[in-house]
Amino acid sequence: MTLKFVSCPSPNHDARPDGTPVDILVLHYTGMKTADEALARLCDPEAKVSAHYTIGRDGRVFAHVPEERRAWHAGVSFWAGERNVNARSIGIELVNPGHEFGYVDFAEAQIEALIDLSHEILKRHPITPQRVLGHSDVAPARKEDPGERFPWAKLAEFGIGLWPARGGGEASASDLSRFGYGLAPDMDVPLEKVVTAFQRHFRPADVDGKWDGECASILAGLLAPRAV
């Protein structure tokens, strides 16, 4: 498939701090009723939000911000010790009304385009599989996107992000911080919210915010050393 780029520049970006590597990819849904509404907001100087790209349900890729610039998509966020996720990430929005306006499955053409675009991004930047994340992973107290309908397992089949092998032992909920989730007491994020974010990403069939044996096994699998 050839990617179809559409120029749709946003004024909402600034310089990345000197010497910051681009080593995180954050995936979002737009969470608005229509694609047009979402594109207008991402390009509205008053809104002060953006992403590098938005992918429509037909697979078109709207390019908003050059990758060398910092787009404003993650907000207050944390991953693996880093509090300024925007500074070191690429942000991609996927058109979907989201939990608020009628969450639907992502479209096939949309996911195909995301896979191709992600392959290009992963060639350009040193982003490891464990740093391909959802917005809810880096901001679990505030965000639910891209949500439990997002096909993380399929992306992992194409070498984008991690999908855990099961049966690797047992990890406890507090081990979520070893994987990257923000659990420090000063962050004041309820554990249930972090468990929910973990489930949306890695156990989407059952998102109840409660740590159980299956979660323990999945996290152990994710934490196990692997040959990459």
Residue 27: strand pairing partners = 92, 134
List interacting residues with Zn ion (CB under 5 A): 28, 135, 145
Which of 135, 193 has the CB closer to Zn ion? 135
Query: How is 92-107 classified by DSSP, letter by letter?
Result: EEE---HHHH---PPP
Q: Count helices and strands (H / E) in the chain.
A: 8, 8
Which of 50, 199 has the CB closer to Zn ion? 50
Hey, which bits of the chain come out as E strands?
A: 4-7, 13-15, 24-29, 53-55, 60-63, 69-71, 89-94, 132-134
Instruction: Give CA–CA dist 150/167, Å, rounded.
Output: 23
Which of 98, 221 has the CB closer to Zn ion? 98
Which of 35, 215 has the CB closer to Zn ion? 35
Residue 42, both tokens? 């991402």
13-15 and 69-71 strand pairing: antiparallel
Contact between residue 176 and residue 184 where contact means Cβ atoms under 8 Å apart: no
**Is 93 an active-site residue?**
yes
34: CB partners within 8 A, 6+ apart: none
Residue 197, both tokens? 């974010």
Out of 93, 108, 120, 214, pick the active-site residue. 93
Cα separation values, 69 from 18, 22, 48, Å:
11, 10, 14
Which of 28, 64 has the CB closer to Zn ion? 28
Which residues are the active-site residues?
93
